[in-house]
Amino acid sequence: MSVLLRMEGVEKSFPGVKALKGISLEVEEGEVHALMGENGAGKSTLIKVLTGVYGRDQGKIYFAGEEIHCKSPAEAGEIGISTIYQELNLIPYQTVYENMFLGRELKKNAFFLDRKAMQDEAEKALSDLGLEIDVTKSLNHYSTAIQQMVAIARAVRSKARLVIMDEPTSSLDQTEVRVLFRIIRQLKEKKISVLFISHKLDEVYEICDNLTIFRDGETVGRYAVQDIDQYKLISLMIGKEWKEREREDKKSFSDAETLLSVKNAKLAMRLSGVNLSIRKGEILGLAGLLGSGRTELAELLFGTEKAGEGEVFWMDEAYFRRNPSKSIEKGMGFCTEDRKTEGILPNLSVEENMTIAMLPKLQKHGFIDFKKQKELAKRYVELFNIKTPSLAQKIRNLSGGNQQKVLLARWMCMNPKLMILDEPTRGIDVGAKEEIEKLIQGLSAEGISVLMISSELSELARNCHRVVVLRDGKVRGEIEGDAIFEDSIMTLIAEDAKEGEEDEAK
Ligand SMILES: Nc1ncnc2c1ncn2[C@@H]1O[C@H](COP(=O)(O)OP(=O)(O)OP(=O)(O)O)[C@@H](O)[C@H]1O
Ligand SMILES: [Mg+2]
């Protein structure tokens, strides 16, 4: 097969960080190639250098046999390189179809856009992906997952020869991942290459042909996927021997005191009468597909979602008129799934982002104890192995996974009694994932309860003492202790789906 893309000796520095130290990469025509590496290894930076978001300091890039120097993503698009970036770069308040044609609008003549044609084409492109939505609504009307699908539709509908996907599946559920993989296979049939970045190894093993491993801004090696097992792959990524963490013994919490409970939680169209209780020290998992009501339930408990109904009890006392600051005062922490809109403060430093929620606690006689603030931030940077040149670095300059770690640390600092984690390891590499899982176990050992929402069933199976499966806003089942396995959770979710189809058929 012929080589479509070749990058040689590419270097790129930012103030205080050499992100790429002479990286090489080869992608063949019609292959799906994975880019693997820890958080901060340089994957996204390489993509941005290739597509002209950043200039490069050194190195050569060849595409379809010619040396290229793209100065902007639009220019990259013109020569056939289409990209879905890690952080979505669509315009939320514009309509779906405008977003799909951003920068290459269809025109009736020199003065007028052909809106009808754009709407029709956008509708068709999306329905090809199995998505029937109103394209004239603004993009932020839809969930992150749908926005992601729009970005994908936008990338594949252009005349691309290489489609780059930087963590495309991080906000998709299993069904949507199936759709994406179908699209990737279609691209392959058309001899279009895909450069695929993901921290989920099972995805890489399923869809990719070859992979290149990066570590600390350098290329470690290129392998055919079938020639490298998971242990070797991870060991090469982290630069030391790796062994899978053993499943924790499943402690029973049936005798423990109840910390939080909710009766008959309701929210229009989203939750229809959920009962749930969390015991002290227990790690309770919430499983279910996107739209099953997991996040809504967590938001209702925490008080971000105010429209909901339901009786909530916190340490046996009724908790009325819930709101986030009251919840924090009581001892709840809530690390949300959407770090971009709800989490990070992009222009503040790592240290500030980490300690912002606990500033009131850091005050002494009305002044912030800066020394303590710094110590705390330093401790978590070390504990989570956060890659940053300094505590003063603006958080927007950190890699995606490292931003996620800062957010987790923000809540850990607060010493909560209950930690609600919504997709805590999204975008986090294998090594850091293990660190975070250990931390969650540590919280439980100290008597802190954890409510964990995750689409990664293996993560729930390894860590939870009890797993509750939601579907269409209702509790559909519960698994406890030694019965918790990836398969048993999956079965419960799948059984439900079948039942649902039958219901609809009636
Ligand atoms: N604009 C920037 N300014 C300063 N430093 C940056 C900038 N962009 C990236 N970096 C740094 O370059 C390094 C590589 O980051 P990059 O985003 O490429 O990592 P990644 O491999 O994509 O990680 P992840 O898996 O977390 O997405 C990191 O140390 C990051 O902090
Ligand atoms: Mg990245």
CA nearest ligand 1 atom 18, residue? 42
Band of the pLDDT at 88, cuts 50, 70, 90?
Answer: low
Q: Is residue 66's pLDDT more than 80?
A: yes
Instruction: Examine domains 3-238 and 255-331+417-427+444-506 and report if their fold is the same.
Output: yes
36 pocket-lining for ligand 1 (C-beta < 6 Å): no
134-143, 389-398, 424-433, 492-501, range with the lowest pLDDT = 492-501
Atom of ligand 1 nearest to the CA of 46: 18
Domain 3-238: state its class: alpha beta
**pLDDT tens digits for 485-498?**
999 998 888 875 55
Residue 401 alpha carbon to ligand 1 centre in Å: 9
Most confident of 207-221, 227-241, 286-300: 207-221
Average pLDDT, integer, range 416-420: 94
**pLDDT tens digits for 292-329?**
889 899 999 999 888 888 999 999 999 999 998 899 88
40 pocket-lining for ligand 1 (C-beta < 6 Å): yes
Integer angstrom CA distances of residue 338 from 105, 213, 244, 305, 342? 30, 28, 28, 15, 6
The side-by-side arrangement of strands in the sheet containing 162-166 is 81-84, 162-166, 193-197, 32-36, 210-215, 218-224
SS (H, E, C) 407-448: HHHHHHCCCCCEEEEECCCCCCCHHHHHHHHHHHHHHHHCCC
Judged by its nearest atom, the ligand closest to the C-alpha of residue 400 is 1
CA nearest ligand 1 atom 7, residue? 397
The residue among 303, 278, 271, 248 whose CA lies nearest residue 419 is 278
Given a contact cutoff of 8 angstroms between Cβ atoms, the answer to whether 25 and 5 are in contact is yes
CA distance 403 to 407: 7
398 pocket-lining for ligand 1 (C-beta < 6 Å): yes
Hey, which of 36, 44, 350 would you mutate to test ligand 1's pocket, going by the most ligand atoms within 8 Å of its Cβ? 44
402 pocket-lining for ligand 1 (C-beta < 6 Å): yes
Burial class of residue 158 in the structure, from the number of CB atoms within 10 Å of its CB (0-12 exposed, 13-18 middle, 19+ buried): middle
Extract the tokens encoding 158. Answer: 């252009």
**pLDDT tens digits for 28-52?**
999 999 999 999 999 999 999 999 9
Judged by its nearest atom, the ligand closest to the C-alpha of residue 45 is 1
Residue 13 alpha carbon to ligand 1 centre in Å: 10
Residue 37 alpha carbon to ligand 2 centre in Å: 9
Residues in the chain: 506
CB neighbour burial string for 255-292, b if at least 16 within 10 angstroms, e if fewer: ebebbbbbeebebeebbeebebebbbbbbbbbbbbbbb
14 pocket-lining for ligand 1 (C-beta < 6 Å): yes
43 pocket-lining for ligand 1 (C-beta < 6 Å): yes
Amino acid at 56: R
pLDDT for position 102: 80
Residue 425 alpha carbon to ligand 1 centre in Å: 17
Residue 147 alpha carbon to ligand 1 centre in Å: 23
Residue 167 alpha carbon to ligand 2 centre in Å: 8
Helix (H, G, I), strand (E, B) or coil at 190: coil
Domain ranges of the chain: 3-238, 255-331+417-427+444-506, 337-415
387 pocket-lining for ligand 1 (C-beta < 6 Å): yes
Between 299 and 501, residue with greater pLDDT: 299
**pLDDT tens digits for 326-344?**
998 899 999 886 655 567 7
77 pocket-lining for ligand 1 (C-beta < 6 Å): no
Extract the tokens encoding 438. Answer: 């250990």
CA distance 32 to 225: 10
85 pocket-lining for ligand 1 (C-beta < 6 Å): no
pLDDT for position 416: 92
CA nearest ligand 1 atom 31, residue? 398
63-67, 334-338, 424-428, range with the lowest pLDDT = 334-338
Given a contact cutoff of 8 angstroms between Cβ atoms, the answer to whether 25 and 7 are in contact is yes
| 219 beta partners | 214
Band of the pLDDT at 505, cuts 50, 70, 90?
Answer: very low
Angle at 112 between CA 109 and CA 114, to 5 degrees: 85
Q: Is residue 504's pLDDT more than 60?
A: no
pLDDT for position 86: 72
pLDDT for position 340: 58
Sign of torsion over alpha carbons 318, 324, 325, 327:
positive
Between 411 and 468, residue with greater pLDDT: 468
426 pocket-lining for ligand 1 (C-beta < 6 Å): no
- Phi, psi for 128 (deg, rounded to 5): -60, -30
pLDDT for position 506: 42
Task: Name the CATH superfamily for 255-331+417-427+444-506.
Answer: P-loop containing nucleotide triphosphate hydrolases (3.40.50.300)
